[in-house]
Copies of this chain bind each other. A is one copy, B any other.
Amino acid sequence: MKKNYLTKSTEDYLETILVLSLDKRVVRIKDLAKHLNVKKPSVVSAVKYLKRKNLVKQEHYGHIELTEEGEVVARKIYKRHKALYKFLHNFLGIDPSIAEKDACRIEHFLTPETMERILKFIEFIEICPKKSPNWLNNFYYFVKTGKLPEICKKC
């Protein structure tokens, strides 16, 4: 059983590799450096670490890819990020760029329980019209039972 803990910094590298690879042909050291606001040698050593962990692969002087395992991990992190962004922006009404920043900052630190609850909350508000009376209690009901209350289904 391998040690599975990743630091904030390491998670950021992984996540950024995923995000960049979604709209770029290839991901390079300099791209990561730019996005993460660090210098290239920092990226090099982070990538070296991730290679040891079998989360990314890279030929010497070549471009960077996630391994299968790395992609699984990166997608989890990215999922958290998106959920937090939605929570902050769609629900609390925080401006996009700020919501983005906060999502980045706290995505690494929430307990799984709270993260789970926020995911559930997002799911709920995307279904529920938020207009029904007693709206919040409907959410608690949803958390508890996993089922939407009758009243919600009508929307």
Contact = CB atoms under 8 A, between A and B. Distances in A.
A37 interface: no
Interface in A102-116: 102, 105-106, 109-111, 113-114
Nearest to A112: B98
Interface residues of A, number: 30
B133 A114 contact: no
Given A121-B92, A135-B136, A143-B93, A114 B130 contact: no
Contacts of A118: 92
A95 interface: yes
Contact of A94 (B92, B114, B130): B114
A73 interface: no
A130 B137 contact: yes
B92 A114 contact: yes
A113 B95 contact: yes
A151 B135 CA distance: 15
The 7 closest A-B pairs by CB, nearest first: A105-B109, A130-B136, A106-B106, A133-B133, A102-B114, A135-B135, A131-B134
28 contacts: A88-B114, A92-B114, A92-B117, A92-B121, A93-B117, A93-B140, A93-B143, A94-B113, A94-B114, A94-B117, A95-B113, A98-B113, A101-B111, A102-B109, A102-B110, A105-B106, A105-B109, A105-B110, A106-B109, A106-B110, A130-B134, A130-B135, A130-B137, A131-B135, A132-B133, A133-B133, A135-B135, A135-B136
